[in-house]
Copies of this chain bind each other. A is one copy, B any other.
Amino acid sequence: MVSPHTVSRRALHPNGPTLSRLVWGAWRARDAAALAEPQGLVRMIETCLEHGITSFDHADIYGQYQVEALFGDALRLDPALKGRMEIVTKCDIALVSSARPGNRVKHYDTSAAHIRASVERSLAALGVERIDVLLLHRPDPLMDADEVARTLEILVAEGKIAHAGVSNHTVEQMRLLASRLPFPLVTNQIELSVLHTEPLESGILDHLQAERIAPMIWSPLGGGRLFASPPEGALGRTMAELCEKYSLAGPGPLAIAWLLRLPVRPVPVLGTTSLSRIGELAAADAVEMERQDWFALLEAARGRAVP
């Protein structure tokens, strides 16, 4: 048996942190019986590390505010794991949840008090000293950019976070926050996949490349649709041909290889809860997809050629 592919690494920004080229996302960890126990999660973490996937994506709200603590429990079972990984987490969404009885309506909160409290809770739940990258999860229409920038600066100075970024932000939202910060935003975690190509036209990828910021990508497999029901018709045929050409296990790894071809050098977040999928997906990092294959997949997914 061949040794598993070890994914490469890359800096999110010239002055930013280096992550593994693929990131494991803990979003649905509690939804999978195998991962809902710390020992099961340790196995997932070890499987990721074996493939060079050393970066883990969280948010305070995942699993109704419970996933970070579950992940922390896994790290407490094997404390050596902590030194071998980078942690990304997020704040600012406030859910209506039994875990937050004060929340009457889903909202966003970028107040200094909320960001600070959220970071403190994430550090405690995860059991780590520092978050490698803290993201604002959603653009908050009530964001006071001066207040947020000051808060992020203090958290960096205190060593509680190493870097700051955003998620789901537009170009002008990034420009606003960047205008107040003494350091760069190191990423913008956005939705992008062969099934969701709107960011190719919205300007955000152009802006990120201009600023030399690598995006993290959520739902890189179209929310799992590419696994749940393999595409039919032209898309299915094109995917089957390309999987064979590139020796990939299926539409999932192919969709990842498609993303990795983008010059903005995206970092996809893998939401799979299956140990066996990790190796299949990691293999995508070894593929250098040919330009025409990239466009063939785009054309098949959209149902029309480029103009």
Residues of chain A having any CB pair with chain B under 8 Å: 103-109, 111, 138, 141-145, 168, 170-173, 175-176, 179, 200-201, 203-207, 209-210, 261-263, 291-292, 294-296, 298-299, 305-307
Contact = CB atoms under 8 A, between A and B. Distances in A.
A203 B144 CA distance: 15
A285 B272 CA distance: 50
28 contacts: A103-B292, A105-B292, A106-B295, A106-B299, A106-B306, A107-B291, A107-B295, A107-B306, A108-B306, A138-B307, A141-B262, A141-B298, A142-B261, A142-B262, A142-B263, A142-B294, A144-B263, A168-B307, A170-B201, A170-B203, A170-B206, A171-B172, A172-B204, A172-B210, A176-B207, A176-B209, A176-B210, A179-B210
A142 B291 contact: yes
Contacts of A305: 105-106
Contact of A105 (B173, B205, B295): B295
Given A138-B306, A263-B145, A291-B142, A105 B206 contact: no
A176 B291 contact: no
A105 B170 contact: no
A206 B142 CA distance: 11
A210 to B, nearest CB: 4
A286 B177 CA distance: 28
A278 B301 CA distance: 43
A169 to B, nearest CB: 9
A171 B203 contact: yes
A203 B203 CA distance: 12
Given A143-B263, A172-B207, 9 more contacts: A104-B296, A105-B296, A105-B299, A106-B305, A142-B262, A144-B263, A173-B206, A176-B209, A176-B210
Contacts of A292: 103-105, 107
A103 B305 CA distance: 13
Nearest to A168: B307
A254 to B, nearest CB: 16
Complex A-B, nearest 6 residue pairs according to Cβ-Cβ distance, in ascending order:
A172-B203, A107-B295, A172-B206, A144-B263, A176-B210, A176-B206
A94 to B, nearest CB: 8
A138 B307 CA distance: 8
Contacts of A207: 172, 175-176
Nearest to A171: B172
B294 A145 contact: no
A119 B144 CA distance: 36
